[in-house]
Amino acid sequence: MDPRTAADTAAPLEPPGPVVTTAWLAEHLHDPRLVLVDASSVLNRTEEAIPGALLLDLDGPFSDSSADLPHTLPPAEQLSAAARGLGISGTSTVVAYDARGIFASARVWWLLRAAGFDRVAVLDGGLPAWTAEGRPTAAHAAPPAEPGDVELTARPGFFADAEDVARALRDPAATVLDARSAGRFAGTEPEPRPGLRPGHMPGAVNLPYTRLQGPDGRLLPLPELRARLAACAPEGHRLVTTCGSGLTACVLALGAHLTGRDDVRVYDGSWAEWGRPGPRPVVGPDGS
Domain CATH for 70: 3.40.250.10
- Check whether residue 86 and residue 178 sit in a common domain: no
- Check whether residue 10 and residue 124 sit in a common domain: yes
Q: Does residue 123 lie in a domain region?
A: yes
- Check whether residue 49 and residue 165 sit in a common domain: no
Mean of all residue pLDDT scores within the chain: 95
Q: Does residue 138 lie in a domain region?
A: no
- Check whether residue 117 and residue 194 sit in a common domain: no
pLDDT digits (tens, 9 = 90+) for 160-191: 999 999 999 999 999 999 999 999 999 999 99
Catalytic pick from 49, 102, 239, 243?
A: 243
Question: Residue 257 belongs to what domain range?
Answer: 159-274
Q: Does residue 152 lie in a domain region?
A: no
Regarding predicted confidence, which is higher, 2 or 28?
28
- Check whether residue 170 and residue 237 sit in a common domain: yes
pLDDT over threshold 90, residue 6? no
Q: Does residue 283 lie in a domain region?
A: no
Q: pLDDT at position 286, please?
A: 86
pLDDT digits (tens, 9 = 90+) for 128-157: 999 999 999 999 999 999 999 999 999 999
- Check whether residue 45 and residue 163 sit in a common domain: no
- Check whether residue 101 and residue 57 sit in a common domain: yes
Angstrom CA distances, 134 to 27, 35, 37, 90, 95, stand at 15, 22, 20, 33, 20
CA distance 137 to 130: 9
Q: Can 232 be counted among the known catalytic residues? A: no
- Across 214-225, average pLDDT: 97
pLDDT-derived band at 261, boundaries 50, 70, 90: very high
pLDDT digits (tens, 9 = 90+) for 68-115: 999 999 999 999 999 999 999 999 999 999 999 999 999 999 999 999
CA distance 190 to 140: 33
Q: Report the percentage of the chain scoring pLDDT > 90.
A: 93
pLDDT digits (tens, 9 = 90+) for 223-238: 999 999 999 999 999 9
Q: pLDDT at position 9, please?
A: 56
Closest CA to 100 of 125, 134, 133: 125
Q: Does residue 137 lie in a domain region?
A: no
Work out the end-to-end distance of the chain between its first and last CA atoms, rounded to an integer number of angstroms: 65
Q: How many CB atoms lie within 10 A of CB 39?
A: 29
Q: Does residue 153 lie in a domain region?
A: no
Q: pLDDT at position 52, please?
A: 98
- Across 184-208, average pLDDT: 97
- Across 30-43, average pLDDT: 95
Q: Does residue 19 lie in a domain region?
A: yes
- Across 49-62, average pLDDT: 97
pLDDT over threshold 50, residue 5? no
Q: Does residue 29 lie in a domain region?
A: yes
Q: pLDDT at position 42, please?
A: 87
Question: Which domain-ending residue is among 117, 132, 147?
Answer: 132
- Across 36-57, average pLDDT: 95
CB of 282 closer than 8 Å to CB of 139:
no
- Check whether residue 27 and residue 113 sit in a common domain: yes
- Across 257-273, average pLDDT: 97
Report how many domains make up the chain: 2
Q: pLDDT at position 288, please?
A: 76
- Check whether residue 11 and residue 110 sit in a common domain: yes
pTM of the model: 0.95
Edge-to-edge order in the sheet of strand 54-55: 19-20, 120-123, 93-97, 34-38, 54-55
